[in-house]
């Protein structure tokens, strides 16, 4: 269970990782508008790192349901200065959350280490070449549809089988294109074109994704389905249920956890790992 990022081999066999979320957007669902200027964004990134995040995932375009698209120039304006400034003061792994090839390329030049693409490198025809020509770690995520319409009417015959097949196919596409398998991480895309029942089924059966033989990333932090399951209507009411999913996910084999609040998730992760031995 090893992941190669910029020629660095990360052993995830016994110890998972926390990926801290940094949205430099005005419209993300829980923290939009909070970290728009570079200094504030970098300060928050360093806080996330101090709380236990080993990866900072920086995004300049919201992918919440119904979010409006952002043009390339604006996305670059939002993320590149933050990546460059963070790299100057920290060696934390930096992930660029984008589906645009030009944004990924410039983010890597500015100091990013990982491409986290919600379209699994398919949203931009040039993204595969950017990924292939780098040594970056790659996160391949499943999504049915696209962010603006994905929650309108998601439908599957068998959500687990279809998500697994999608990820397996995209792993193979990457390998056939010259991207080493060891650079790849997979994400089932909880909340991306899935109903409440679909999300619950995927979380219940996370262990079955181990057949893909790649580290598994999950991101459920503050998502609305947590509130629908627990009765919490506000974003802050989804906090502890998300922490619970981190513990459950690690027990079922997930290794990377994308979260807004690293400290409690890191505590839950390390306690679970201690119990697992």
Please, are residues 232 and 190 in contact by the beta-carbon 8 Å criterion?
no
Catalytically active residues, by annotation: 223, 258
Q: What is the percentage of the chain residues whose pLDDT exceeds 70?
A: 96
Please, are residues 31 and 260 in contact by the beta-carbon 8 Å criterion?
yes
Q: Closest Cα to residue 189, out of 69, 65, 79, 95? A: 65
Q: What pLDDT score does 30 carry? A: 52
CA–chain centroid gap for 212, Å, is: 18
Q: What pLDDT score does 65 carry? A: 74
Domains and CATH numbers, the chain: 2-272 (3.20.20.20)
Q: Is the pLDDT of residue 35 over 80?
A: no
Residues 66-100 have pLDDT tens digits of 777 889 999 999 999 999 999 999 999 999 999 99
How confident is the model over 250-273, as a mean pLDDT?
Answer: 97
Q: Quick one: pLDDT band at residue 223, thresholds 50, 70, 90?
A: confident
Strand residue runs (E) in 8-64: 8-11, 17-23, 55-59
Q: What pLDDT score does 238 carry? A: 85
Q: What pLDDT score does 33 carry? A: 56
Q: Quick one: pLDDT band at residue 135, thresholds 50, 70, 90?
A: very high
């Amino acid at each position: 269970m090893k992941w190669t990022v910029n020629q660095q081999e990360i052993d995830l066999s016994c110890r998972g990782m926390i990926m801290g979320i940094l949205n430099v957007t005005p419209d993300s669902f829980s923290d939009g508008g909070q970290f728009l200027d570079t200094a504030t964004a970098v300060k928050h990134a360093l806080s996330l790192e101090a709380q236990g995040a080993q990866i900072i995932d920086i995004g300049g375009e919201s992918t919440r349901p119904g979010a409006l698209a952002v043009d390339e120039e604006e996305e670059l304006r939002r993320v590149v200065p933050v990546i460059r400034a963070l790299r100057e003061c920290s060696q934390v792994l930096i992930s660029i959350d984008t589906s645009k090839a030009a944004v990924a390329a410039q983010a890597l030049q500015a100091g990013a280490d990982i491409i986290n693409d919600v379209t699994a490198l398919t949203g931009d025809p040039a993204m595969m070449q950017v990924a292939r020509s780098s040594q970056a770690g790659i996160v391949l995520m499943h999504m049915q549809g696209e962010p603006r319409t994905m929650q309108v009417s998601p439908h599957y015959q068998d959500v687990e089988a279809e998500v697994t097949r999608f990820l397996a196919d995209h792993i193979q596409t990457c390998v056939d294109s010259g991207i080493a398998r060891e650079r790849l991480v997979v994400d089932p895309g909880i909340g991306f074109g899935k109903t409440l029942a679909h999300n619950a089924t995927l979380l219940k059966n996370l262990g079955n994704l181990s057949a893909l033989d790649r580290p598994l990333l999950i991101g459920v932090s503050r998502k609305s389905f947590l509130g629908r399951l627990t009765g919490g209507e506000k974003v802050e009411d989804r906090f502890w249920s998300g922490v619970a999913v981190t513990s459950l996910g690690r027990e079922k084999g997930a290794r990377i956890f994308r979260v807004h609040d690293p400290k409690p998730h890191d505590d839950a992760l390390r306690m679970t790992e201690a119990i697992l031995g």
